[in-house]
Every structure is written in structure tokens, then in C-alpha cells.
Amino acid sequence: MKVVLLVGGRGIRLVGEDAPLPKALYRIGQQPLVYHIMRMFAANGMKRFLLTLGYRGEQIVDYFLHHAPFLQTDLSLKLGSEGGLPQIRRLNGPEESWEVILAHTGIEAATGERLRRAEQYLDDCEQFIVTYGDGLADLDPAALVDFHRKHGRVGTVTVVRANSQFGHVDFGDGGVVECIEEKPPLPGWINGGFLVFDSRIFDYLQPGDSLEADCLPRLVDDGQLVARPHDGFWACMDTYKDAMALEELWASGHAPWAVDGP
């Protein structure tokens, strides 16, 4: 099972138009957001990843080539070896064994177009997961995939509840306030950003598409999209305030998305 991460965004609401990093590389603790997301899948046995790069994609490449293998790890270097390159031996640290494809899909491409351009790397997959580089959840990916396989349609979307950013006020005649509730749950469900598709999804993608605004409505029209509610923890690093809240959760030692295992 491959996991596609759409990590081409700028993160404008997080840090502004000229963000120095792609959103997926902003850190929670000692590791970037994208690593936290990938760890969740890897701990559930899903270790094949396809990252669709866009804005400052070369920085994501640099992270995986020069940083990810060596963080929290003691190293032994033998310099002056044959060929002039140092020989590197890991002395400790986590043993990760992941396959990561880094596909440059254009700086300005929409999400559906990014997926369409990466189709060649998914031709060995009957089903695959698609998610974003800014969402965290205490999700069971295996249960999500099992749900998708059982209903047999093209797509599954994880839906979650979200809270209002503002306090809600009910008032009656004369403006007398009858109820005030700080940041209550919003009515209905929202797209939680963890999706499963089978290969038929490419029949629903057209050049330049947004996955959310163009492709998913086509699936809905054909009765080919099924919702799977998730009632557990879910959060999106959309703003600086979101980033601070996630950092505080991580620092507390009780981050709901944290997992054990490789």
C-alpha cells in the first residue's frame, strides 16, 4: 500500500506568501510535520511513500537526503576512504526502512493535477492512500483501507468534526443573550484529508484539476465516494496558532497522534 502525500503547498496562512519552507517541513518538536505523518503510517506497516513536490520542493529533497537518515543518531565516519567519500556507520538511533519517491509535480499545480502527474508511480497499486502534508490524527490507516475495500467504490474520504473558531451566541427578544458557548462544534462533517482511492480515480481526473473542487464532486455525481467518520483526534496545521497548539501538545508528552514502533 502506497501513501501519497500532497506536499506542494506554500502554507500562506501559516507564514505568508514568501514562506521560507514548504509547509510540510515546519517542525513539531525535533521533526518536521511530514515526518510525524509518515511515522503514523509506518507504525501501521505502510512504509511506501510518494511525495508530490511543489513549492520549495528541493528543500524536501534535501531533508530526506541529508537530514532524515541522521537525526537522533550517533554516527561513525571514516574519512579519506576510497573514492574520497566518507564511510558512514550508524551507531544507534531508530532503524527506519521506508521507500520514499519524491516527484516534482510543479510549483503552481493544483492537488488533482499533482496526483495526475504522479500516476506513473502508482501503476503497481490497486488502491492507495492520499493525504496532505499538514494533517494529524489518531487514525487507524489499516481500518480505513479495509473499509474502502469492503464497499468497492472508487473513493473513501475520512470525515471529521471541527470546532468553530469563534464563540457562539443565541439571543432572544430584545437582544437578551440566552446562551453563549465558546468555540462550539460546527454542524455537519468536514473532509479530514485522509482518503483512499483505487486506480479508477484517474478516469475522474482532468488536466489542471483540484482534487477537492473538481474530482471529488465527479465521484459524488457517480455515487463513487463513501464517507468514513472519524471521531478521534484530528488537527490541521493551517495557521501559526495551529502550529503553536500542536507544539504544545507534543511538548506535553501526550500528543494523540504519536505512535510507537518503526
Q: Contact at 8 Å (CB) between 103 and 57? A: no
Predicted pLDDT of residue 165: 79
The stretch 218-229 carries a mean pLDDT of 98
For residue range 28-65, list pLDDT tens digits in order.
Answer: 998 999 999 999 999 999 999 999 999 889 999 999 88
Q: Is the pLDDT of residue 88 over 80?
A: no
For residue range 65-87, list pLDDT tens digits in order.
Answer: 887 766 667 767 677 666 666 67
What are the chain's domains?
2-158+189-252 (3.90.550.10)
The stretch 170-198 carries a mean pLDDT of 90
What's 32's DSSP letter?
Answer: E
Q: Is the pLDDT of residue 221 over 70?
A: yes
Question: pLDDT class for 5, splitting at 50, 70, 90?
Answer: very high
For residue range 155-166, list pLDDT tens digits in order.
Answer: 999 999 988 878
Question: pLDDT class for 16, splitting at 50, 70, 90?
Answer: low
- In 3D, which of 169, 171, 147, 174 has the Cα closest to residue 158? 147
Grouping H, G, I as helix, E, B as strand and the rest as coil, residue 159 is strand
Q: First and final CA of the chain: distance in angstroms?
A: 16
The number of CA neighbours under 13 Å toward the Cβ of 112 is 18
Question: pLDDT class for 219, splitting at 50, 70, 90?
Answer: very high
Q: Is the pLDDT of residue 136 over 80?
A: yes
Grouping H, G, I as helix, E, B as strand and the rest as coil, residue 24 is helix
Q: Is the pLDDT of residue 108 over 60?
A: yes
Q: Is the pLDDT of residue 7 over 90?
A: yes
pTM of structure: 0.87
Q: Residue 118 corresponds to which cell in the numbers above?
A: 504522479
What long-range pairs does 142-149 form, CB within 8 A, spacing at least 24? Answer: 142/44, 142/45, 142/46, 144/194, 144/196, 144/228, 145/1, 145/196, 147/226, 147/228, 148/196, 148/198, 148/226, 148/228
